[in-house]
Amino acid sequence: MTDNRFVNRSELIGILLLAAFLVVILPLCLDVFRLNLVAKYLTYAFVALGLVICWGYGGILSLGQGVFFGLGGYCMAMFLKLEASSVENTKIQSTPGIPDFMDWNQITSLPLFWKPFHSLGFTIVAIVLVPGLFALIIGAAMFKRRVGGTYFAIITQAVAAILTILIVGQQGYTGGINGMTDLRTLKGWDIRPDHAKIVLYFFEVGCLFVCIFIAQFIRHSKLGRILVAMRDKEDRVRFSGYSVANFKIFAFCVAAIFAAIGGAMFALNVGFMSPSFVGIVPSIEMVIYTAVGGRLSILGAVYGALLVNFAKTSLSESFPELWLFGLGGLFIAVVLAFPNGLAGIWSDYVEPQFVRLITSRKSKPVDGWTEKSVADGAPAE
């Protein structure tokens, strides 16, 4: 019988391996600077994870995940910025107690929508709710009208462009093109020194695993199977009594919230937030991480985000002008040669070798193993 638990054995091994890699191996092998870079890469793993649910399983290609990454990041950054803009920190400003960029833009009092961000509790709720509600509105407007596929992708691109323009244009409220910089403390705890970076790294990894488990739960629930069914035969799902639009909205909202958590982690770990993580190009890059990792693989998304970002850092250090060509080439190569990404390479080539090694040691090979793995392998990873 098909497995109905939310983690099966091979997935559990995969999760434990990833945990060992992120919690033990990387912190032991890397210095704080490099570990902090990994923390930055991992913020994109949240986005990629959301895209696995939304794009991989649900077939909804969003080219605007930067929007939600940005909304989450800005919510976090607003809280941190307010804390960094205490009256004594900003006493040289003409209006002390407001963020520096507001002062530069001749704003004399804190705008109303900034005020609740004095509270960490509100901020945490906002990180989830603001992008969640925004995705709900976009999703409801699109999916209830049966806008899908390419049109949906283009609209998400437009939203990403609009939000970037809005952030850049409203410099006095958002920090403009420079974004929100000089973030210092979280509830009085300095986030800049090395030991704080390490703590934040582990906190982020913890959050990532919570999201991985949520994604696993969704994937193994009937909802996960309905998403796959919808990707395949939308009408059949509709005429089986389901409101297809609601399921799409759900998948899109989950992806948005994951992306927003990633954005908030970015603001914490990297110490600033700017519109350059919101727009069209970063949104497309996020899709590439997912494609490289394998759009059907929850863990693949994490490795994809790590690998592409690692390549980005190393290659853009040595060949800054060639990097974008490399990224484009990588995307084309993955789509053409390995449509299931790293996870596909793993399950098609590496895992069978392991299985052969293990089964050849056993005296009796299990009959029907190959047939079952073919049947299981196609929809999953």
Partner 1 sequence: MLVGHQPKEFLLAVEALTVSFDGFKAVNDLSFYVEENEIRVIIGPNGAGKTTVLDLICGKTRATSGSIQFRGQELTKLKENQIVQAGVGRKFQTPSIYDDLTVFENLEISFPRGRTVFGALTFTRDAIVRDRVHEVAEMIFLKDRLNVNAELLSHGQKQWLEIGMLLIQDPELLMLDEPVAGMSVSERVKTAELLNRIIKDRSVLVIEHDMKFVEDIAHKVTVLHQGQILSEGTMEHVKNDPKVIEVYLGH
Interface with partner 1 (CB under 8 A): 1-2, 4, 218, 221-223, 225-226, 228-229, 231-233, 235-244, 246-247, 250, 372, 374-375, 378-379
- Measured from the CB atom, the residue of 253 and 286 that comes closer to partner 1 is 253
Which residues lie below 8 Å from residue 310, measured CB to CB, with a gap of 6+?
41
H-only helix segments in the chain: 9-19, 26-29, 32-51, 65-84, 100-104, 120-143, 149-169, 171-174, 194-220, 222-232, 234-238, 244-270, 280-293, 298-318, 323-337, 341-345, 351-361, 369-377
Comparing CB distances to partner 1, the nearer of 142 and 306 is: 142
356 vs 372, which CB is nearer to partner 1?
A: 372
CB of 257 to partner 1, least distance (A): 14
Of residues 41 and 247, the one with the C-beta less far from partner 1: 247
The token duo for 4 is 């109905």
Instruction: Give the nearer residue to partner 1 in terms of CB position, either 86 or 246.
Output: 246
- Select 317 or 371, whichever has its Cβ closest to partner 1: 371
Instruction: Spell 90-113 as b/e; 16+ CB within 10 A means b.
Output: beebeeebbbbbbbeeebeebeee
Q: How far apart are CA 277 and CA 114, in angstroms?
A: 21
Token output for 12: 């559990």
DSSP-assigned letter for residue 381: -
User: Is residue 72 within 8 Å of 264, Cβ to Cβ?
Assistant: yes
Q: Which helix (H) or strand (E) holds 138?
A: helix 120-143
Residue closer to partner 1 by CB (options 103, 381) is: 381
Asked if residues 229 and 237 have their Cβ atoms less than 8 Å apart, the reply is yes
| Smallest distance, partner 1 to C-beta of residue 3, A | 10
The nearest distance, CB 7 to partner 1, in angstroms, is 16
User: 352 or 377, CB closer to partner 1?
Assistant: 377
Q: Min. distance of Cβ 128 from partner 1 in angstroms?
A: 17
We find the least distance from the C-beta atom of residue 237 to partner 1, in angstroms, to be 7
- CB 344 to partner 1: min, Å: 14
How far apart CA 38 and CA 269 sit, in angstroms, is 10
Nearest to partner 1 of 118, 146 (CB atom): 146
Which two three-digit tokens encode residue 11?
């997935």
How far apart are CB 264 and partner 1 at their closest, in Å?
A: 24
Rounded to a whole number of angstroms, the minimum distance from the CB of residue 249 to partner 1 is: 8
* Residue 371 neighbours by CB distance under 10 Å: 9
> What torsion do the CA atoms of 330, 331, 336, 339 make, to the nearest 10 degrees?
110
To partner 1, the closest distance from the beta carbon of 216 in angstroms equals 13
Residue 50's alpha-carbon distances to 203, 214, 269, in angstroms, are 19, 10, 20
Could you tell me which residues are beta bridge partners of residue 105?
Answer: none
Residue entry with tokens 């906002």 = 126
Residues 13, 287, 316: CA angle, nearest 5 degrees? 95
At residue 225, the 3 state secondary structure works out as helix
